[in-house]
Each structure stands twice: as structure tokens, then as C-alpha cells.
Homo-oligomer: A and B are copies of this chain.
Amino acid sequence: MTELNTVNREGAMLETAPTLYVEGRGIRFAYRRLGPSTGTPLVLLQHFSGNIDAWDPAVVNALATDRPVIAFDNAGVGRSTGQTPDNIAAMARDAVAFINLLGLSQVDLLGYSLGGCVAQQIAAGHGRLVRKLILVGTAPQGGEEHLLAVLQDAFSHTEAPDIRLPLFFTKSSASQSAGLAFLMRVKSRIEDRDTDSGKAVTDPQAKALITWCAAPDPEHAMLRAITQPVLVVCGSHDTMLPADNAYTMFKALSNAQLVLYPDSGHGALFQHHEFFVSHVRSFLDA
């Protein structure tokens, strides 16, 4: 258990919590922290192009009812300064620097998509710092990705009110309506919103993700270096980083639980947020 040396922010929500800053190693990191002041903090590692306000309040607030939860912008993203690196290893170093700056000696990590690659890299290299790991909609080194093709297709849906509807949700009416509800939630914060990502963020991030998946790791050395308990989560119809990745990771990891959700895409954790929160909780509390 790591005591956070900040005031107890119990009751604050992602939509209302103030954005805080911590500075070191030449980077000023933006973050928000929610939940009780004690307990192992859960640090969230965000997807390609996403910032703090791209997290779903339904997920983050529910998880923060019984543990500290920290959402942050990695170097160069959102309102964090510094440069977005073009490789996962450097992103992992930046994230560890942020965790160290907060004075946390042990954390749980929830890595989503690109953030899941970063989370694997951190967990493999920091056995003591990372207690448990949650990997959502992500890929192992050498995994399968259709990032550019899917992005291109999604941007052709000019009728969509938000790129995340075609990108994160399936074509079913149930998934699309869950997507609209998700958008309502992520857009509910009006003031002090995080800064959207431009090409200075997305270009190196895309390169990092594509390079990660292009790097062959047939023996799964990275996954085998992860000894912590892992919860692997994916949607049945994730078009960018397909569910086969999740099954591959489950089989190669020494201590992983796998949860796959029906009729869902890259945003499975937002579509099935009640299931997801329940599954994460029982995993972290065990």
C-alpha cells in the first residue's frame, strides 16, 4: 500500500477534479487524481491521441470509489510539456518518471491500446513498482494491428459526430448507442478541459505503436518478463488491435486472466463499463 502525500480527494470526479501538475526531468506532467488517499494507486495509461479527458468518467469514477486513481498526460500529450517520443520504451521511461515524481513506490497500471504497450514495457522492467497490470485493447510486441487502415476508414465516415463512434464501437445499434452515451460522458466536463492532440503527438505515437507491432517477438520475451498478475481485456470486434492479440497475451503470460466482451470494438471497456469495473475490481482486490 502506498500512501499518497496529497490531500484526500475522496468524492472528486474526473469531470470536476482539478488538473494538477508535477515537474521533473524537464517535463511538467498534467494529471488528475481521484479516490481515497490510501490504497495502491491505479495509474491509467491512455490510448493513441487521447488525453486525460478521453477517459470515461463512468469507468474512472467507479474505480475511484475504493482506490486512488490517477489519470495523466504522458510527455508531450495534452497539457504535459516535453516531446512525445516515437517509441514505447521512451514512453515507459517518461511514465515511470511521472510515477516517481508523485513519490509512489508501488502502483497498479491500467494500459489501454497504446497505453497497454507502455504498461507491458513498464511491468516487464519494474517488478517492484508494478503490483498488478490491466491490459485493454492492446497488442504484444509483434502483435496484429490495423491502425492506419482503420483510421483511414473511420475518417471517411464524415457523417459521424465523433471519430470514436466508428473507431471504438461496432456497427450494431446497441454498440452505437453505447458509443453515444460514452461521448456524452467524456464531453460533460466544460471548464479546464485537456488540450487535444495534434500531429506532434499522433505522428510519433502512431510510429511507436506500429513499430511495436512490427518488432518480432516470437518467443514473447517481453510478456514472459512480466511476472505480475495481469488482467487482459478486449472487445470481440476490435478492428484496430484484434482480440486475437488478447488471447495470445493470455497464453504467453504466466499469470493472466482473460476477459472478452461481446459485440464490442476498441472501446469495449466503455461500452461494457459496468462489467469492466466489476472485473477490474475483483481482479485488483483478490
Q: Which residues of A contact B (CB under 8 A)?
A: 229, 236, 247, 250-251, 253-263, 274-275, 278-279, 282-283, 286
Contacts and interface: CB of A to CB of B under 8 A. Distances in A.
A178 to B, nearest CB: 13
Contacts of A282: 274-275, 278-279
A229 B253 CA distance: 28
The winner among A229, A260, A261, A279 for most chain B CB atoms within 10 A is: A260
Contacts of A274: 282, 286
A259 B262 contact: no
Contacts of A283: 275
A274 B281 CA distance: 13
A59 to B, nearest CB: 15
Contacts of A286: 274-275
28 contacts: A229-B262, A236-B250, A236-B251, A247-B247, A250-B260, A253-B262, A254-B262, A254-B263, A255-B262, A255-B263, A256-B262, A257-B259, A257-B260, A257-B261, A257-B262, A257-B275, A258-B258, A258-B259, A258-B260, A259-B259, A274-B282, A274-B286, A275-B282, A275-B286, A278-B278, A278-B282, A279-B279, A279-B282
Contacts of A258: 258-260
A282 B275 CA distance: 7
A99 to B, nearest CB: 26
Contacts of A263: 254-255
A283 B286 CA distance: 19
A285 to B, nearest CB: 9
Contacts of A259: 257-259
Contacts of A254: 262-263
A259 B254 CA distance: 16
A256 to B, nearest CB: 5
Those 8 A-B pairs whose CB atoms lie nearest each other, nearest first: A258-B260, A278-B282, A255-B262, A256-B262, A259-B259, A247-B247, A250-B260, A257-B261
Nearest to A232: B260
